[in-house]
Amino acid sequence: MRQKRRRKSLFLRRALLLAAAAVVIGASVRAVSLAGAWAGSAASAVLAGGGAGPSAESSLTQELEALAQEEPRAEAILENRSAYPDDLLSMLCRNPEMLDFVLGYPEHRGETLGDSVGETAKGTFPLLLQYDPRWGYAAYADNIVAVNGCGPTCLAMAIAGLTGEDVTPAAVADYAAREGYYAAGQGTSWSLMTEGCAAFGVAGEELPLSQSVMEKALREGAVIVCSMRPGDFTTGGHFILITGAADGGFSVNDPNSSERSARLWDYDTLAPQIKNLWALRAA
């Protein structure tokens, strides 16, 4: 009888030991599995956050090759690809109007080739393009006006029409960078449109996003600077200048596109893309 009890006890102990071992092994397998999954996810995150990685660079090269098929002069850029920053080449692929400017980049980078926007008059808001060679190569903080100078270019247009003064985008960019109206890695500070603009005889006021408010400001002689979300005007961030309202739409001076500046834009198209906006008036 005692022998049977001993056998039964040994059997129970072995069963308990086997069960415990199974639990430990199962936990180890799950830990290894989870570690492998985490490592895979981490590797994916590193690849995804790699900026202009191999796939992005390959895609940009393909876009440049396609552009060269239509415009053979772009071949010179492909042959000397390392001389051009990727952000400038990306802009070119989206806007072939920039080809002449981009071709001149290696020679003129950092230079200011002009000190005038041309003839100015109160009430007339000239379309100034940030990649105009007169100022587009000029340095603006960590880049050049052509790439990140949409804010200063919009303000230069407003200055010309509100005050009649001849101030180039490069001059505004220099002031903005010097006086702290540029945030590295982010772009032109919104406070340039409310505070910094005063240095050029312009008063800025933040507006609510409202069609009636915008139309009223324009009727009163103001122009409106808008900070834009990705959409029709940008893949990142961008400033445009609204100069008037007519026929149910708004006239826009886009400092990065003469084509987009040549049409009217209805409120329903613009509104979802506007991040913030300011009315600018002569001080």
CA separation for the pair 174, 178 (Å, rounded): 6
Three-state secondary-structure class, residue 144: strand
Q: pTM, whole model, 2 decimals?
A: 0.80
Residue 94 phi, psi (nearest 5): -85, -20
Query: What is the mean pLDDT, run by run of 10 residues, along the chain of 283 residues?
Result: 42 44 41 34 30 67 96 96 96 96 98 97 98 98 96 98 98 98 93 98 98 97 98 95 95 97 98 98 97
> What is residue 186's predicted lDDT score, i.e. its pLDDT?
87
Which architecture does CATH list for 139-282? Alpha-Beta Complex (3.90)
Tell me the DSSP string of 200-258. GTEEEEE--S-HHHHHHHHHTT-EEEEEE-SSSS-SS-EEEEEEEEETTEEEEE-TT-T
> What is residue 54's predicted lDDT score, i.e. its pLDDT?
58
Half-sphere exposure of 199 (CA within 13 A, CB side): 18
> What is residue 224's predicted lDDT score, i.e. its pLDDT?
98
Token reading at 134: 């007169």
CA separation for the pair 206, 201 (Å, rounded): 17
> What is residue 185's predicted lDDT score, i.e. its pLDDT?
83
CA separation for the pair 83, 76 (Å, rounded): 11
